[in-house]
A and B are shown apart, each in its own frame.
Chain A
């Protein structure tokens, strides 16, 4: 059974840093693309980052240069390092598994972890 369990969320001041983790089980994260998708309260789904086909990464402009996605294949764990956080980064962050190595839909989602950026 596929499971994704996020951790590391919390309250952080603007300009601060946070590291999210996603412990995966039931599959091997190196065999699929992995991603982080966020959702602000009452809003839609928004991409945060992707890692695919080895160590290829994708970041939308609104997090590029501030966020870094990585995976520890030995621990089957995905990470998201978030630096220079802004109020607009406040959201529930979901870890998500891609159906294939790259270029496909998401077939499993974690329950999410809440990140609140506020002074």
Chain B
């Protein structure tokens, strides 16, 4: 099973600043990687698929990059509604397509 490791576990960022989240796969997943956002008390929401394609209605301040084993989610200028937990998921080896353990983005 492919292990997805996200870092850091918690990221403290001031509103308006840039946030960079990392996701590493234990073996190559090509570009078959998705990012999800989960706010407290809500279901996850798809942000990015194919490592870099934004899902429908996702603001341009969210961008994804990487391939193989190293991936990054960047939020260019954090808004108040962006403070949440972010999960990566590989779907190259499927089923099931493993999730990372999440990165919490909190207000600094």
Contact = CB atoms under 8 A, between A and B. Distances in A.
Nearest to B44: A109
Contact of B46 (A50, A60, A107): A107
A67 interface: no
Contacts of B45: 109
Given A106-B34, A107-B55, A58 B95 contact: yes
Contacts of B44: 45, 94, 106, 109
Contacts, number: 56
Q: Is the interface of B mostly helix, strand, loop or mixed?
A: loop
Contact of B89 (A94, A102, A105, A108): A105
A22 B20 CA distance: 35
Interface of A: 35, 44-47, 50, 52, 58, 60, 94, 99, 102-112
5 tightest Cβ-Cβ pairs between the two chains A and B: A105-B34, A58-B95, A109-B43, A47-B96, A103-B94
